[in-house]
Amino acid sequence: MAPRACLILFLFAFAAAAQTSTVKVGVPGDPVSIFTSPSPVFGLPNATKVVYKQLYASSDFPNPIVISSIQFFAGSGSLTPADYIISLATVPTVLGAFPVPDPPVSHVLFSGHADSTHGFTFTGVPYTYDPAAGNLLVIITGQNYGQSGFARMIGRTPTTGGTGLFSDYVTWYYANGTSGSEGSPNGFGMSTEFNGVPETGTINVTTNLAAASFSITGQAVYDGSGTSFTEANAPAGQYTIKYGAVAGYKTPPPQTQLLGVGDTIGFSATYTAISMTGTINVTTNRSAATFTILGPSVYYTGSGTSFVQTAAPVGKYSIKFGPITGYTVPLSQQKTLIVGADVTFVADYKPVAPVGTITVTSTPAHAGFQVSGPGLTYYTGNTPLTISNAPAGDYTITWDILLLGYTIPASETLTLVAGGDIAFAGTYAQSRGVIQLICVPLAQNTALYFWEPYVVRHCYFLATDWQGSQSTYGAYDIQGQLTPGQNDDLKNGQPYIPRGCTGGALGSECTVVPLLRSSFAQIVTALGHDAAGSSLGQYNITSNNCNTWAQGEIDKLHLAVTLPNDVVSNSDDVCRLYPLLLQRLGSALGVSPTGLFESDLEILLALVFGSANCL
């Protein structure tokens, strides 16, 4: 292969000004060798086709350029006659890449036969190159050469003293089907000059008013005024002009035109004088309506449901409506009338409904309530509250819960007359829960012997809260374990007092527990906790029964209450109550506790209560 050296061509991108861009890459100079094609090389036949690819760095182009011609520089001699194709493409290929791949799409700048009379400048179909899209690839394809031997096509030399970055790559194709290729590193290539075409045109604007103003937007933005305007260096593309308003004239509509490269477009606008007046409209819903309209140096009056005033001077207008008996007067209004436009005042007279005032208070304050009245009238809020303009009619109030422990005031209905007042006043009364010590005789057939209910009494606590809900604490299972809350006779939580609070052998003893040291809630919580506790052990009629548990709670919670006198909670109580127990047992059996019967009753008592020192 023949040795190769390159002249570099640097392509300077043209600025946005309207002028032909000339960009050079490399410095033309004497070649260190000559690119010979076609010629025998190392015994090979003449090449039938040569494809030369030269890659220019995008950094060589500070701006886009529309390339219309490319010029190369002869090292010596003239151009070898042949059919040439000059193609251009924008590619991502980096400089120095070997081999340089064919681009998927390329642009043919020149295609045709060229010889020594043609020179080294190729002009054809312009190509737009944007350096932001990639590097520029120029492909020179030559074939059908008209002579043999050494033919000087293009001189090339290193870029000593030049500028620019590029590289080249050439491939020879031979008739015998073989080929050869060679590439130069960065900084080697053919010196090249790129010539661009103008990318601008001229925009002219004419109007019929010196006061006219306008704004042109598109590839660039221009503002102008007056009757004439010219921009001779406007970038090609689509432009839209918008005209400014001039008092007393109708503004021309926007216009859009396409400016071609080297072309001239003209925008023309005519401002048409308009009258400095407008139209005032008034609409009401009552034929008896009256109104006055005050404007700039003018005064109009009207009535009825429809009114039109044409040729009204532009400016600010205010309208005031007259009264109609039985109807509300619409509010005054203000509007601004502009040239050639309309303004409309709308008034709605509404019937005056008979109304009054409702006042709602409560003790304590801040109670919530709902008040329902005639039709769909409904009010809600918190006290104290005054409701004005309430329609006349019947109103019913319902109260919300204010605080736990307070009773809710009863619902109430009052009648509001037109122009009158009604007042709802709710009083929340504080309500406290009650705790009682209930000591009851057990029902027959539930103990060891049927007479046991008449000689013993069993106690528990009954709590009634402020809402009336009741619960019991301390009941137990006679036959089994002493487990408060789990029994066969009185279930924990059962609101039940057997045979009433009548006292005596057959009635219950009921004593209210004073709330001194602790609150109702605190005592109930403590009783519930203890009643839900674990078993207290084996039941014993004298030493471990419900009375024992109740006495323990009285002591633990410091309750100001005592068990009834005839309650057995320990063995000492058996001795203390022995005569009474003996009498009650005799009464139950229908005998007198004297003589023989007394000894028999003692035996029975011993069976019921077990051995005791007093028996």
pLDDT in tens, 482-508: 544 444 445 444 555 666 777 766 677
192 and 212 both lie in a single domain: no
255 and 368 both lie in a single domain: no
In a domain, 569, yes or no: yes
**Which residues on adjacent β-strands are paired with residue 204?**
230, 266
Q: Which of 251, 254, 216, 212 is nearest to 234 (CA)?
A: 216
379 and 469 both lie in a single domain: no
Residue 473 sits at the vertex; the CA angle it makes with 469 and 479, to the nearest 5 degrees, is 130
Note the pLDDT of residue 594.
60
What is d(CA 592, CA 600) in angstroms, rounded to the nearest whole number? 11
What's the rounded mean pLDDT across residues 166-193? 71
Note the pLDDT of residue 150.
29
Contact 349, 324 (CB under 8 A): yes
Confidence of residue 74 (pLDDT cuts 50, 70, 90): low
What's the rounded mean pLDDT across residues 424-453? 68
Residue 254 has pLDDT above 60, yes or no: yes
User: What DSSP element (H or E) covers 314?
Assistant: none
Note the pLDDT of residue 287.
96
Note the pLDDT of residue 35.
38
pLDDT digits (tens, 9 = 90+) for 111-163: 998 877 767 788 888 898 888 899 999 998 888 775 433 233 333 444 443 44
Q: Domain count for the chain, please give it.
A: 5
Token pair in block for residue 584: 């009650």
168 and 28 both lie in a single domain: yes
Token pair in block for residue 133: 């899209």
Token pair in block for residue 462: 């009954």
What's the rounded mean pLDDT across residues 256-263? 87
Note the pLDDT of residue 160.
41
What's the rounded mean pLDDT across residues 589-596? 60
Note the pLDDT of residue 353.
79
Residue 437 sits at the vertex; the CA angle it makes with 554 and 506, to the nearest 5 degrees, is 135
Which has the higher per-residue pLDDT, 612 or 4? 612
Residues 6+ apart with CB under 8 A from 593: 582, 583, 585, 586, 601
Confidence of residue 331 (pLDDT cuts 50, 70, 90): very high
Q: Which of 50-59, 348-357, 388-397, 516-525 has the highest mean pLDDT?
A: 388-397
591 and 504 both lie in a single domain: yes
Q: Which of 462, 477, 467 is nearest to 513 (CA)?
A: 462
Which has the higher per-residue pLDDT, 40 or 120? 120
Which has the higher per-residue pLDDT, 413 or 402? 413
556 and 479 both lie in a single domain: yes
Last residue in a domain, options 196, 218, 249? 196
Note the pLDDT of residue 157.
41
**Residue 231 to residues 244, 297, 494: CA-CA distances in angstroms?**
19, 46, 103
Residue 230 has pLDDT above 90, yes or no: yes
167 and 251 both lie in a single domain: no
Which has the higher per-residue pLDDT, 351 or 282? 282
Last residue in a domain, options 312, 347, 382? 347
What's the rounded mean pLDDT across residues 217-242? 92
Note the pLDDT of residue 335.
96
**Residue 196 to residues 22, 137, 207: CA-CA distances in angstroms?**
6, 17, 35
In a domain, 220, yes or no: yes
285 and 179 both lie in a single domain: no
| Signed CA dihedral, 539, 544, 546, 547: sign only | positive
Last residue in a domain, options 171, 196, 221? 196
**Lowest-confidence segment of 11-25, 83-97, 461-475 by average pLDDT:** 11-25
Domain with 335, as residue range(s), is 277-347
Note the pLDDT of residue 14.
27
The CATH number of the domain holding residue 268 is 2.60.40.1120
Contact 403, 367 (CB under 8 A): no
The CATH number of the domain holding residue 416 is 2.60.40.10
Residue 129 sits at the vertex; the CA angle it makes with 124 and 130, to the nearest 5 degrees, is 170
What's the rounded mean pLDDT across residues 218-243? 92
Note the pLDDT of residue 280.
97
- Sheet strand arrangement including 315-321: 298-303, 290-295, 315-321, 333-337
Note the pLDDT of residue 424.
97
